[in-house]
Chain A
Amino acid sequence: MKKRWPITILYRAFSSSTTSTTASFPLKHVKKSNFDSALSSLRHHIQAADFVAIDLEMTGITSAPWRDSFEFDRFDVRYLKVKDSAEKFAVIQFGVSPFRWDPLKQSFITHPHNFFIFQRQELPLDGAAYEFLCQTTSMDFLAKYQFDFNACIHEGVSYLSREQEDKALKHVNSTYEDESLDSWHSLKEIRDTHLFNIPDILFAERMKDRLSEWLGGLLRNRDGGSEVQPSFNDSKQQFETIFFKMRPAISLNGFTSHQLLLIQLVVRKHFKDLAYLRVSGENSCSQNVIVYIESESDKKMLMKEVKDEQKIDAEMSIKASIGFRHVIDLLSSEKKLIVGHNCFLDIAHIYSKFFGPLPLTAEEFISSVNKYFPHIIDTKILLNSNSILQQRMKKSSTSLSKAFSVLCPQIALGSKSTHLALQPSVKVEVEVDDIRSSNWNSGVKHEAGYDAFMTGCVFAQACSHLGIDFKQQSSSENLAHNEKLREHVNLLYLSWTNGEIINLSTGNRTSESLASNKRKNHYPKILFECIVIVWGFPSHLKAWDIRECISKVYGPTSVISVYHVDETSVFVQFSRAEMVSKFLDLKESLDRNNDPISVLHPLAKLLEGGNTCAASYETYKEICSSTVSKVLFADQAKAVGIKWKTKLVESSDKTKEHESLRKVKAVNSDPSCGERTKNKNFDDVPNDSSYSQLSSDEIIDSFYTREAKQI
């Protein structure tokens, strides 16, 4: 209660001095120090919530300019781009805002939480170091909004994904279960041979004497009952008598590792009733002890005891490292309706950070996401796909802050009195650490917690416009099953750029229908089999030059569009699919014959410099699936291609490969079943006599790598 006072007074003072009733108290920031308490309170809020709004802040979006989202992205390419982004960048802030309808107050109550998260390498998992990419412009953007990087790196909550946890647990199990890997047995043979120099022998003798002295004293003590052995006390700094697992023991301090090794040898050689143990003590420093054992079975028992304890410790530390994933597990297990704004990338991040590696295809991804989160609503789609809401939005942009200020002016601007009469508004009350306000404004945009709060408010208001009456809504009923929402649930923008929407529950893809009036499609429908990607051409050539160059060969209507992927590469969209192969054939023959005719050919301008490469859309997809990210597409292609091509004939190789692909496609006239096409292709190529042995080997090899990638 005391704590609340200063803030409340501040709040009052603030609100009385201005006409608006906007409350301004800070967002609830969750860091390492207050994570446990925040988690337990959040657990209750989430369990009681009708829906939970989320938002993420990342260290970047695209790992290279050409990985940006384009209109020419086929859905599988789009997924690969999202996958690349989610795998490379880190999530540094996670906003969670559970919304609950309070029937007494006739308003929503929300508890926005702003988690700073930062994955530390707390467990010795495997050799590879944790690393993440930062996009310079994104970091600069965050800095502009005063993002607290110190809070994130110094005090961020760490986490383990489910996969990492499983791996770590398996590792622990194999370490403690597998007898043959017992660390002090395996090295014995090698070490035994090393006790040969005089100082070592002398030291070992001395240790032997001291140990037998201690042992003798111990046995006398047990039999006779005399007290402390005085002779042993002198060396107390090094030999300290303790009790270890209810057994008398010596704790060894201040020896070098070599000396400890010698002591270990002495114990094993000369003392049947002593056991040498290395245990990890408190604060993770290891402790070396020699324990008195009564029999071989006692020794086994002791070993087992120690091992079990260490195993439990190791498992405990793994459990302790789960950290922020508890929140995600909670969201998943409670099966709450998750609300995000344009959140396909966010979901991919959640998947890769907290569940496991992203699947290779969009289909697999969608079906597993649906398992973990059965109900997701994207407010951006909601606003664009419903005509009532579009009207409400007055055709303004559907960016989060814009939607928030248009739909929830009473919260965004604090202008409660003026707008109340005009539109029915859903009341939202914010509660942060026992402070409540119905007109809260923390004022910090692009802070994940606040963005999540805004998303939730937009959603609540949108629901009310859709005619959902929260007063009628019984608390037990899941909001996601409301018939007015049903058609919007589990739809996500695969790509906002071309308005492709994916349904998470069915896996169906649709193009945006309702909003088409807003979206001016200046590109005709894209047929991917008509597309060639060209890169490495002379840098002074622009899209127009390339179009002109190709049109000279195939006529003015042959090229529909030329689109710059980046400065080193273009998509050329032909009017007919067969022109792709014609073009690639021609290019290949021009590359091969360096005679005057090919120099004077209209295409020669494009091939100038000898580095121009061209391939079909499939190669583009393959390049996108690579984990490498070079800034320029031409460099990227080189970095990917080197793996299975001779540099010497790089450009013609590419054409050849796609020529073969195309041939197979012509036979197998169903291009959509990619998997079958490739298998067929794989069989066909070696029989094709038109290729030299060398190149067909390469082709097999290239398909081999692709197959491997797809498996």
Chain B
Amino acid sequence: MVPKFKPSPLRIRSFCTKTVQQNPHHWPIKQITKTNFNESLSEIKNHISSSDFIAVSLQNTGSFSSPWHRVSTFDTPETAYLKAKFAAERFQILQFAICPFKLQASKVIAYPYNFHLFPRDELKMGMPSYSFTCQTSYLTAMAKEGFDFNTCIYDGISYLSEAQESAAKVRMGNPMAVDHATKSSSSPALSVADTVFIERVRSRVKHWKNACTDSDIKTEAALVTSLRKIVLGGEQFGSRPSMTIDVCSERQVQLVLKMLEDFSDVLVPLIIPAKGGGTQAVRAVLTSSDEDKHLLKRELQTFEFEQNKRVRGFREVIDLISASQKPIVAHNSLNDFTFIHSKFLAPLPPNMNEFICSLRLAFPQVIDVNYLLKDIGPVKKMTNISATIAYLKNRFFAPIEMEIPNQANENEGKIHGHNVVKICQLFGKLCSILKITPDAIESSDDFLASAINRYANIFYSLPGSSQEPTNEEIRGWTNDKRKVSCEDVVFLWGFRERISAGILKNMLQGSHEVFAEAFNVRMVDRSCAIVVFGKPGLSNTFKNVMNSKEVSGPLREMVSDGLKAAGYETYQRVCSSGLWESALADALDKALASHNCLSEAAYETKQSEIYLSNELINLAEL
């Protein structure tokens, strides 16, 4: 094949700012660590706001610990989500690549950045994460790519999720300026106790204020000043005198704030949050003039701004992306967005529905390139982006020119985060093949919106390719397009380890009459297999036989050897109660054991369907 686009060396030399890069290893991806994070933020902000799409790609410390923890074709959206959740809660993101990009005809203009993250406990509060799990194979693979772990750990950017940030603010107990939201608009009727409280505080404040302004005029001996301070309970806030008013309830806070409005010419109220939430006290700060008051307010703002920046760290970028409301392009979005949700938004909710609702608030449009691929035709393995690009290259003429305006000046160190640019490239190719042309972007925003909407928010699962495709039976079965109801699926375990699906099927075939009809067997891991019955109802017959005394013949022999069976609902319970044992057989055993003491009625499972080869989870359907 003749390369369709040769990078012209002349062009690279003559336009230094605009280089066309086709060789992935020369893509100038800006590497960002703690040292250059702050200075890069405004640039990133501009690129995000001027882009059409934003591609994201994560490098995590692991994904699944045991073969069956991997999202596979026999998973429903719910179990797939639970598996992704389990991974997202344990592993850590070490690199987060983002790439705001524009599509122009057959050209992708991309601004890739690769952030090195490390969950350093900057505030000494056990946040963002107390600990995280690493998978040796992941670290080894990263090492092979020349990843610099020292840079990452010494100099990675930390972050806090939204939920952690609010918790941290409370725990730090920094005074907050009163915004209008904290002041309640309605003033409730005052009780006698309220009036007494207000008047007492008012007189204290008046006294203190007068004393402060007095002492400004008179020069007093140091001893007298300090005595006065003790008597009046005055303190310093920065260089300004201040006074703390203790409160017992939120109502008193409102009362004090209302009362302090009478002094608003010189006093600025601040709220001191209590450690356990709520308000501990109100602090009144005395300013000398109107300018001084504004100065104080500005100081407070900058203080808060700086502190937020320090606290949020990398989440600033996530906030920028979220605020832009631009469509986000990802590969394997279920995995990526469970990680993003758990690290940067809030702890993951217990089920898929809540997760999607919560995620949509922050990221209204998520496009998975895998789903776009679905429209083109069956692609067997979609885990590898480069392979997918190569596959498309051989099949379609959809040349995409990558333009990466050179922004990485630093030549030092290895360049990481190529995947994010590949995602841009792949997305560009797919758009051109599927005729979601960028021309449409200019002509009609609505068209694009509807075209993109068709593909947005569909969270893909990985194809279950943990099994070597050595067995014809299984391959044929996996290619089967038909839906299989969870009802017809039975999990089998307790047989000899390292048995093949073919042998197991042979063993089952003669063992009982339910196996006279068509059925399929597939290994989930070494300890467990799933059996799919072609005819509805047979699975129940089989389960009943397994649990009854009538079990006879070869099947009885197998049961005596330890064979066990359970329906799909047991598997769902394994996932939902977090029985992530390393062998699925152990997990199923535990689930059965804990189930015995529960009434059956509590676990009436909804009939749901799994799609054996069309394993997608559509937001619209949920």
Contacts and interface: CB of A to CB of B under 8 A. Distances in A.
A129 B597 contact: no
Nearest to A190: B502
A136 B131 contact: yes
A127 B133 contact: no
A452 to B, nearest CB: 23
Contacts of A154: 143
B136 interface: yes
B525 interface: yes
A539 B471 contact: no
A385 B558 CA distance: 62
Contacts of B4: none
Interface string B568-612: 000000000111001100000010011011100000000000000
A131 B136 contact: yes
A132, A136, A705, most chain B CB atoms within 10 A:
A136
A149 B473 CA distance: 46
Contact of A129 (B68, B137, B154, B470): B137
B135 A187 contact: no
Size band of the A side of the interface? 35 or more
Given A65-B126, A129-B135, A646 B472 contact: no
A63 B598 CA distance: 32
A128 B62 contact: no
A191 B472 contact: yes
Interface string A201-220: 00000000000000000000
Interface string A634-677: 00000100111010000000000000000000000000000000
Given A186-B500, A187-B470, A187-B500, A136 B119 contact: yes
A127 B67 contact: yes
A150 B597 contact: no
B136 A121 contact: yes
B453 interface: no
Contacts of B120: 136, 140
A149 B153 contact: yes
B134 A131 contact: yes
Given A127-B67, A136-B130, A148 B135 contact: no
B133 A136 contact: no
Interface in B102-122: 118-121
B498 interface: yes
Contacts of A140: 120-121, 153
Contacts of B590: 643
A126 interface: yes
A139 interface: yes
A644 B577 CA distance: 11
Given A128-B65, A148-B150, A133 B133 contact: yes
B503 interface: yes
Interface string A75-100: 00000000000000010000000000
B526 A130 contact: no
A299 to B, nearest CB: 24
A536 interface: no
Given A127-B525, A137-B121, A190-B502, A150 B66 contact: no
A52 B134 CA distance: 32
Interface stretch (A350-358, A401-409, A557-565, A694-702): A694-702
Contact of A639 (B130, B473, B578): B578
B594 A129 contact: no
B139 A153 contact: yes
B597 A701 contact: yes
Interface in A162-181: 181
B261 interface: no
Contacts of B525: 127
A540 interface: yes
B197 interface: no
Contacts of A65: 126, 130
A631 interface: yes
A698 B140 contact: no
A389 interface: no
Contact of A131 (B62, B121, B154, B526): B62
B140 A646 contact: no
A646 B598 contact: yes
Nearest to B155: A143
Nearest to A699: B597
Contacts of A130: 135-137
Given A148-B150, A190-B473, A644-B594, A131 B135 contact: yes
A414 interface: no
Contact of B130 (A64, A127, A697): A64
Interface string A131-157: 111111101101100001110111000
Nearest to A697: B597
B149 A129 contact: no
B154 A143 contact: yes
B283 to A, nearest CB: 22
A139 B506 CA distance: 52
A131 B148 contact: no
A150, A194, A705, most chain B CB atoms within 10 A:
A150
Contacts of A186: 500, 502-503
B143 A132 contact: no
Contacts of B264: none
Contacts of B133: 131-134
Given A132-B134, A150-B149, A187 B597 contact: no
A60 interface: yes
Given A120-B140, A190-B502, A539-B276, A60 B594 contact: no
A139 B62 contact: no
Contact of A187 (B119, B130, B498, B502): B502
A127 B584 CA distance: 11
Nearest to A174: B498
Contacts of A150: 143, 148-150
B126 A631 contact: yes
Contacts of A135: 130-131
Contacts of B498: 181
Contact of A642 (B126, B129, B149, B577): B577
Interface string B448-472: 0000000000000000000000111
Interface string A686-711: 00000000100110010011000000
A110 interface: no
Contacts of A131: 62, 65, 133-136
A379 interface: no
Nearest to B139: A153
Given A143-B154, A181-B498, A644-B597, A119 B130 contact: no
B303 interface: no
Nearest to A700: B597
Contacts of B68: 127
Contacts of A642: 577-578, 594
A60 B92 CA distance: 15
28 contacts: A65-B126, A119-B136, A127-B66, A127-B67, A128-B582, A129-B64, A129-B65, A131-B134, A131-B135, A134-B92, A136-B129, A136-B131, A136-B132, A142-B153, A149-B153, A150-B148, A153-B142, A181-B498, A187-B470, A187-B500, A189-B502, A190-B472, A540-B277, A631-B130, A643-B594, A646-B598, A701-B594, A701-B597
Given A127-B66, A701-B597, 20 more contacts: A59-B134, A90-B134, A118-B136, A126-B526, A127-B583, A129-B66, A134-B132, A134-B134, A136-B132, A139-B118, A143-B150, A143-B153, A154-B143, A187-B470, A190-B502, A540-B276, A639-B578, A642-B577, A644-B597, A701-B596
Interface of B: 62, 64-68, 92, 118-121, 126, 129-137, 139-140, 142-143, 148-150, 152-154, 276-277, 470-473, 498, 500, 502-503, 506, 525-526, 577-579, 582-583, 590, 593-594, 596-598
Interface of A: 59-60, 63-65, 90, 118-121, 126-137, 139-140, 142-143, 148-150, 152-154, 181, 186-187, 189-191, 194, 539-540, 628-629, 631, 639, 642-644, 646, 694, 697-698, 701, 704-705
- Chain A to chain B: the 4 pairs with minimum beta-carbon distance, closest first: A149-B149, A128-B582, A130-B136, A540-B276
